[in-house]
Structure 1
Amino acid sequence: MHLLPLAPNAGLTATTPIGEGMTVSHSHGNHSIASPADQAQIQPEAWLAIQSPQLNSDVSNTAASFPAHSLVAALRSAALFLGALTGSCVTMAQEPSATASTDVVEVEEVVVSSRTPDLIDQIGVSVSVLDEDTMQSLGYPDLASLLDTQPGVTVTMAGGYGKAAAVRIRGEEGYRTRIVLDGINIADPSSPQVSPRIEHLVSSGLTRVEILRGPQGLLWGADAGGVILMSTTDTVAASGVEGYLEVGSDDFYQGAINGVLSTDQLTASVSLSQLETDGFNAREIDSVDPDRDGYENTTAHGALSWAISDAISLQVAATDISGDNEYDGCYDTATFALIHDCDDEYEQQAWRGALRYASERHTVELSYASSDTERAFFSAGILSYETEGETDTTSLIGAWRLTGNTRLTYGVDHEEQALSDASTDWSRDNTGIYLEAQQRFGLGVVTFGWRHDDNDDFGEFDSWRISGRYDLDGMAEGWALRAAIGTGFRAPSLYEIAYNNGPFAYPPASSAPLLEEESEGWELALIGAVGNLDLELIWFDQEIDNEIIFDLAGYSGYLQTTGTSQSEGLEIIASLPLSERWRIEGNFTSLDATQQNGDDRAYRPDQTGQVSIVWTRNDLRARVTGRYTGEATDPFMTSIDDTFTIDLSAQWDLSDRWALEARVLNVTDHDDQQLPGYYVPGMTAYAGVRVKL
């Protein structure tokens, strides 16, 4: 069995900004631009699939330069997906029972595209949104499962709750996804390549999640190929307390309490959740007297917004996350024998304070955020390895509406990252300045952004993004075109540098200095409606030059590749109201993700999709969700079969205060593995009660 890439100097071990309240809607007729109001001993195959830069590159891609067979396959699958949604489209368009359009349509407002509020029909990049009602309807307690339902997003998990996981957007590596919670960058600098610890993020306490799928999250960082922006606040929430309790299979327990205090000048919120499960045996190698691999998570969020005056406000947010995970496949600290009594403890404390000034045309915000993470790995109860990571960020961001159709967004971020593993310390600063101009003209809007980064170790770089949207009214009523193109760069992470300078690296990795990666991507979208069917088609392409990968041939460390890796694909998003009670919605992604030599990238399914049938009647709501993951390959080009999972969820409002909830996951009880050698949860059932006071 091959050993994993070890943590730097480890022993033998196996692996918001302006507009934080993101819930405002505007009437569709208002077209003016909105004013800004490990890894040390994780299991080998899982580590490769989830943390290795080479293998964590892309999820499912297929786009502009499809090979002929890929294009045919993508179109065939797309046709089947659309057929399922449009079979009754013409009929439904004529039935009075179908949901009728109104004169005034609410248009959602998002922050993730430009770090300042934008109407979603005024941006030129792809953004999807999970609001609180949708998250509650889906019923998943972990953020990873929620994200896995979204277009262009794939989450790889090595077992059940709390097990190592990676989120990939349009096939890009997990560490190219910026994850932001209440304005705080919560990535862990002590993880391989600054990977976000998605497996420890629960959905309880979240009010909204926005996902920027590409091509570049320019204003969030030159290395942000995608952005996941989470909020625990709701600016329109009324004062009150809500509690939730759920129990289920595998000795699962989840309890949560959320409270909000809202006055004319002050809004405060706090949430506390506890999740525990005894789990199941997660790995095939634990075959002799196998044990269950459990998980515990305690998460607390708190936020405060104080309107000091009509123009000045103060905001504070804080988060504390504690996760304790049991897994298989670590090494005894005395004999170095492979054992399965392994624990991974994770702690993260993060906070942010911001002072904001807002006038009719100008908003400016000064903030400071800090995130501290600690990881500790135990073999048979004995500490084998531990790390600490810290990220401190000082930001100034402003938005100036020069006219009703012109806006400038500007800012500067100074970020300090540090990594320590008790035997070595690494740190680095990066300063980025950015400017974005948005101009609306007639039926169109165009945005141009520029960013300049000065990195302590790798010097200065410029990146840019141009995006736009044009409504086709007069040519094709209700349809619009959207397009974006941009560039980015990623400096080698502290982890990559530390590993190659540590005692476990050797030539060629230890003797080859790492350089920055450079990226370029574009997307083109067509948005509109056919009868009652809302439809969105997006073609995208992303290229990475000089990609940094882990040496899987000689395990010498991190190497720089020559050439270009590519992720290209097609996304389809659709929603169709069948009647006042029934609705069907879903998405499909076809992906072609290739390495520099033309081989498929590992663990990138060629197709992914999700379809939900939603039923609502007065105080009852139910949802059937099917998730499909297509065929993929592992790092050694071994095929991984496709999987299809069906989940059920339902909510019943007994009164204004009391509600019952239930869900059944993996209804067909399939055992198809997402990662070879790692079991998936079988059919599990859960029941819960929710109370509002």
Structure 2
Amino acid sequence: MFFKSLQTSLLIAASALPCAAWAQDAAEDTDIIVTATGAEQRADEVGLAVTVIDAETVERRQTVILSDLLLTTPGVAVARNGGPGTVTYARLRGAESGQTLVLIDGVRTNDPSAPDGAFDFGSLFTTGIERVEVLRGPASVPWGSQAIGGVVNVITRRPGPGFSARARGEYGTFETVVGQSGIGYGGERIRARIDGGYFTTHGISAAASGSEADGYERWGANGRVEFDLTPDVAIDLRGSWSDGRTDLDGFSPTFEFVDTDEYSTSKELYGYAGIKARLGGLNNRLGFSIADIDRDNFASSTATEPSFFARGRSERYEYRGDLAITEQVRAVFGAEHEDSRLFDGTDRFESGITSVFGELIVKPIEMLTITGGVRHDDHEDFGGNTTFAANAALALPTDTILRASYGEGFKAPTLFQLNAPGFGNIDLQAETAESWDAGIEQQLVDGALSIAATWFHRDTVNQIDFDLVSFTYSNIAATSAEGLEVAIRARPNRDWLFDASYSLVDSKNRSAGFAGNELARRPRHSVSASIDYAPQTGPALGATITHVGDSFDNPANTVRLDGYVLVGLRAAIRLADRYELYGRIDNAFDERYQTVATYGAPGRAAYVGIRARFE
């Protein structure tokens, strides 16, 4: 819909841990969207801006780290503190990184121990991913806190019928080794799949001025088991896990960012266990999910005790219902309770939030779908908050879809912002936002060409920032963002595919002292274009060009980040029915750039690999 020596490690037999959501049972069909309401909807019935990154795109682009694909998605800005494995944040439509809600199979993954709760994309790889839905704009009604900028919903691979297996091995620049494998089985009553991966690289210097390479190593796995107790009742278990170590750079005694032998470790576990049942026209899901994140920093390679220690954990109990009232009216509703915990090595902090929500999906006529909803959240520390949302999609017989939406978002203060010793403020209020957008999608040439455009505007108030006067967190910021997102897809025949996107994001600070300044690390313009040629016989060839415009690194707009252009080239050739040899060159013209001031970014790199599929 809307607008990136061959060593083979064929891995992992780690047991699957619970993860996910009944709504995530959407098929691989890109015409089905689950993130807009938390339940399956046809894409032409959704009035929100949603981009789907499917498994075909992941494989065609040969992408290993998911944030590299997000960079080519309309309205998304990505900033990374160095090479692979370092802190990586995504910002949707100019919102803060902590205002983007990230789901893995429906489990909220945002880190309770991070200052603003932002999810770190540095450890999120494409292993076992079937599709990613990127919803741009507030989505607090179905998903609750943190969805001010939007939602990134990662959906892992489901097993098909019978036995299936996949494997991938890759080697390249910076002595990078990638190994991924997965195995699945789908029977009459039980379906199970597990995917695992290993990644290691000598990396680059995290400090732009440095020369010492900072390496990264990661193990990860995700899996699911579905068991049908009866034709209408099923048990659902899903989960994902990762364990990584990242070499870091740090500050000298004169506060220069330089080479050091610091490093960090992270362990992440996300799980879901639930039961789903169909009672006539009512689909029900009752489940429990958990997110557990451990992060440690060490001052040197020989240190045995961490210099920074953080343990974040959230547990969520939820019920969701989906009721077909009539052929024209559908209700999606639910209730949730979440407990969050933070332990900093000395103190423990906890909070809880209880929520109820309801949405109506109405089709007064066949080609018009109207969705409206309301949610109320009651937070233990700052009280209640009610949000509303509505959207409409009109599918005309001219292969035209008109979309419009209004949404409210809110983000509860994090445990760190509320309770950090010396810096916390228990009187903080929730950040809130209002957003409007309108768009059009037009299919031409019997669907061979698709053009879509969306205009959006968002105002955010009570944004939490660090107050240099009181030296605590305070509700001192107000921001706005508006812009245009354009996406084009052309498939003139089965061999050729062209995708392009353009984003104009005008994000402004409206706070006292910074009014009119651009928000940090939000480029105003970005363009991405990909072309692929994949004939039935012979090699497949492709290229991606991404231009990211200038931005600023700080609220005062005194430190500029120059724009940059990245060019990626790729090729693949089928060796037999089940095997494929592939290779790519990233940053082919060795562009020198920074997405965060003083931090380096990878130069030209080449990789070669082999993939196998047994299905």
- Structure 1 residues 302, 512: closer, same or farther in 2, change over 3 A? closer
2:297 to 377, 384, 389: 377
1:559 to 474, 480, 484: 474
Per-residue CA deviation, residues 20-69 of structure 1 (Å, 9 max, x unaligned), is 233254xxxxxxxxxxxxxxxxxxxxxxxxxxxxxxxxxxxxxxxxxxxx
Relative to its length, the structure with more strand (as a share) is 2
> Would you say 1:569 and 2:502 are equivalent positions?
no
> SS at the partner of 1:146?
helix
> SS at the partner of 1:535?
strand
> SS at the partner of 2:307?
strand
- Specify the code of the residue in structure 1 equivalent to 2:434: E
1:23 to 16, 23, 27: 27
How far off its partner does 1:187 sit? Answer: 1.5
1:96-115 paired onto structure 2 within 5 Å: 108-115=31-38
Q: What's the counterpart of residue 534 of structure 1?
A: 450
1:252 to 163, 176, 196: 176
- Structure 1 residues 515, 683: closer, same or farther in 2, change over 3 A? same
1:599 to 505, 517, 521: 517
1:143-542 paired onto structure 2 within 5 Å: 143-225=66-148, 226-234=150-158, 236=160, 238-286=162-210, 290-329=211-250, 340-380=260-300, 381-382=302-303, 383-442=306-365, 443-473=367-397, 477-499=398-420, 502-503=421-422, 505=423, 513-531=427-445, 532-542=448-458
> SS at the partner of 1:538?
strand
> SS at the partner of 2:346?
coil
Q: What's the counterpart of residue 58 of structure 1?
A: none
- Specify the code of the residue in structure 2 equivalent to 1:650: A
Between the aligned partners of 2:494 and 2:318, the Cα distance in structure 1 is 46
Between the aligned partners of 1:511 and 1:406, the Cα distance in structure 2 is 44
How far off its partner does 1:261 sit? Answer: 0.9
- Specify the code of the residue in structure 2 equivalent to 1:646: V
CA contact (8 A) 2:487 2:501 kept: yes
How far off its partner does 1:498 sit? Answer: 2.4
CA contact (8 A) 2:208 2:601 kept: no
Per-residue CA deviation, residues 286-331 of structure 1 (Å, 9 max, x unaligned), is 3xxx311010110011210011111100010122111110110157
> Would you say 1:669 and 2:590 are equivalent positions?
yes
Q: What's the counterpart of residue 465 of structure 2?
A: 549
Between the aligned partners of 1:529 and 1:511, the Cα distance in structure 2 is 51
How far off its partner does 1:142 sit? Answer: 0.6
Between the aligned partners of 1:692 and 1:136, the Cα distance in structure 2 is 12
1:568-647 paired onto structure 2 within 5 Å: 568-596=482-510, 597-619=515-537, 620-635=539-554, 636-637=556-557, 638-647=559-568
How far off its partner does 1:338 sit? Answer: 7.8
User: Normalising by the residue count of structure 2, what TM-score does the alignment of the two structures yield?
Assistant: 0.91
Q: What's the counterpart of residue 16 of structure 2?
A: none
Between the aligned partners of 1:615 and 1:630, the Cα distance in structure 2 is 28
Between the aligned partners of 2:346 and 2:501, the Cα distance in structure 1 is 47
Between the aligned partners of 1:368 and 1:195, the Cα distance in structure 2 is 22
- Specify the code of the residue in structure 2 equivalent to 1:304: V
How far off its partner does 1:393 sit? Answer: 0.3
- The runs of 5 or more residues in structure 1 that have no matched partner are 1-15, 26-106
- Structure 1 residues 429, 265: closer, same or farther in 2, change over 3 A? same
What percent identity do the matched residue pairs reach? Answer: 24
- Structure 1 residues 329, 387: closer, same or farther in 2, change over 3 A? same
Tell me whether 377-386 or 592-601 shows the greater mean CA deviation. 377-386
CA contact (8 A) 2:138 2:409 kept: no
> SS at the partner of 1:435?
strand
Tell me whether 236-245 or 351-360 shows the greater mean CA deviation. 236-245
> SS at the partner of 1:340?
strand
CA contact (8 A) 2:400 2:440 kept: yes
> SS at the partner of 2:534?
strand
Per-residue CA deviation, residues 142-163 of structure 1 (Å, 9 max, x unaligned), is 1111111111111111111001
- Structure 1 residues 366, 511: closer, same or farther in 2, change over 3 A? closer
Between the aligned partners of 2:593 and 2:252, the Cα distance in structure 1 is 28
CA contact (8 A) 2:418 2:425 kept: no
Between the aligned partners of 2:252 and 2:336, the Cα distance in structure 1 is 41
Between the aligned partners of 1:330 and 1:313, the Cα distance in structure 2 is 53
Per-residue CA deviation, residues 110-155 of structure 1 (Å, 9 max, x unaligned), is 1111111111111111111111111111112111111111111111
- Specify the code of the residue in structure 1 equivalent to 2:471: S
User: Normalising by the residue count of structure 1, what TM-score does the alignment of the two structures yield?
Assistant: 0.81
Tell me whether 490-499 or 345-354 shows the greater mean CA deviation. 490-499
Between the aligned partners of 1:472 and 1:274, the Cα distance in structure 2 is 47
CA contact (8 A) 1:330 1:342 kept: no
Between the aligned partners of 1:235 and 1:402, the Cα distance in structure 2 is 32
Q: What's the counterpart of residue 53 of structure 1?
A: none
CA contact (8 A) 2:437 2:455 kept: yes
How far off its partner does 1:336 sit? Answer: 13
- Specify the code of the residue in structure 2 equivalent to 1:608: S
Between the aligned partners of 1:338 and 1:513, the Cα distance in structure 2 is 38
How far off its partner does 1:359 sit? Answer: 4.2
Q: What's the counterpart of residue 570 of structure 2?
A: 649
Per-residue CA deviation, residues 556-604 of structure 1 (Å, 9 max, x unaligned), is 2323215x31011100011122444222211110011000112111111
4+ residue runs over 4 A deviation: 335-339
1:689 to 599, 603, 610: 610
- Structure 1 residues 18, 580: closer, same or farther in 2, change over 3 A? closer
- Structure 1 residues 569, 479: closer, same or farther in 2, change over 3 A? same
Tell me whether 439-448 or 648-657 shows the greater mean CA deviation. 648-657
> Alignment length, in residue pairs?
580
Tell me whether 339-348 or 588-597 shows the greater mean CA deviation. 339-348
> SS at the partner of 1:514?
coil
The answer to which structure, 1 or 2, has the higher relative contact order (CA under 8 A, 6+ apart) is 1
- Specify the code of the residue in structure 2 equivalent to 1:256: Q
- Structure 1 residues 261, 337: closer, same or farther in 2, change over 3 A? closer
> SS at the partner of 1:19?
helix
Per-residue CA deviation, residues 334-381 of structure 1 (Å, 9 max, x unaligned), is x99987111110001221101000245210000001111111100113
Q: What's the counterpart of residue 13 of structure 2?
A: none
Tell me whether 564-573 or 652-661 shows the greater mean CA deviation. 652-661
- Structure 1 residues 689, 336: closer, same or farther in 2, change over 3 A? closer
How far off its partner does 1:17 sit? Answer: 2.1
CA contact (8 A) 1:125 1:215 kept: no
